[in-house]
Amino acid sequence: GEDVEQSLFLSVREGDSSVINCTYTDSSSTYLYWYKQEPGAGLQLLTYIFSNMDMKQDQRLTVLLNKKDKHLSLRIADTQTGDSAIYFCAESSGDYKLSFGAGTTVTVRA
Amino acid sequence: EAGVAQSPRYKIIEERQSVAFWCNPISGHATLYWYQQILGQGPKLLIQFQNNGVVDDSQLPKDRFSAERLKGVDSTLKIQPAKLEDSAVYLCASSPWDGRGGRTEAFFGQGTRLTVV
């Protein structure tokens, strides 16, 4: 949606780190999320961060949140071919209505 | 735990025909969502139910779209009559969120891909 913006494409070499960026406009956002969508599949929640945090790490995933600039990023370490998918940034503000970005298509090349 | 079930997976209809989609959420989940995902875009919320009541349907085109969640479990989404621009994937999701704040995960079904020709 227009409240959440992402770059559309990212190409990364296998083994390198991927960084996907997202900006949002709603200052009352409570939670921010990263979802992964593989071809023909529904959305899978990868990770989320509460708005009073600035970083969260979960295995190969690192989420950074700059609340002042309303900027969220997802770093995937040691990117693998199985990480090729569309990644959606989403935000909610307490009523659990998720607002999604348009998605970033990540292509991992050998 | 069984996931969110949707049917059919694919549907092709002609413009001005009617179509219905069905969703069976995860057992015990109070909240159910229908999202529309047009190719190249992120999912857009159409309607949100909590149990069998509507929480938010502000983006549902009510002249042609309708949804119900009888008995607070299964849900159906209907389009009547369909237009070309309704071609999209319709995603159903459910969450144990009970409306009292906090964070719970929304679990998504595989979606129904609708093509209107």
Residues of A in contact with B107 (CB under 8 A): 45
pLDDT at B34: 97
Please give, rounded to a whole number of angstroms, the shortest distance from the CA of B79 to a CA of chain A: 21
Tell me the Ramachandran region of residue B85: left when phi exceeds 0, alpha when psi lies from -120 to 50, beta otherwise.
alpha
Cα separations in angstroms, A69 against A26, A61, A73, B100? 11, 21, 12, 29
Note whether B4 contacts A42, CB cutoff 8 Å.
Answer: yes
Contact of A86 with chain B, judged by CB distance below 8 Å, is answered with no
- Cβ atoms within 10 Å of B12's Cβ, excluding its own: 12
**Does the pLDDT value for residue B106 go beyond 90?**
no
Note whether A42 contacts B110, CB cutoff 8 Å.
Answer: yes
**Does the pLDDT value for residue B115 go beyond 60?**
yes
pLDDT at A51: 86
**Which residue has 């990212």 as its token pair?**
A10
Closest CA to B94 of B66, B79, B67, B75: B75
- Strands B107-108 and B88-95, by their bridges, are antiparallel
Contact of B41 with chain A, judged by CB distance below 8 Å, is answered with yes
Query: Radius of gyration (Cα) for chain B, nearest Å?
Result: 14
pLDDT at B97: 74
Q: Are A81 and A108 in contact (CB under 8 A)?
A: yes
Mean pLDDT (whole number) for B9-27: 97
Two structure tokens written together for B67: 């949804």
pLDDT in tens, A57-91: 999 999 999 999 999 999 999 999 999 999 999 99
At residue A2 the predicted structure's pLDDT band, cuts being 50, 70 and 90, is low
Please give, rounded to a whole number of angstroms, the shortest distance from the CA of A80 to a CA of chain B: 23
pLDDT at A106: 97
How much of chain B is in helix, strand and coil states, percent to nearest 5?
A: 5, 45, 50
pLDDT at A1: 44
Q: What is the average pLDDT value for chain B, to the nearest integer?
A: 92
pLDDT in tens, B28-73: 999 999 999 999 899 999 999 998 899 899 999 999 999 999 888 9
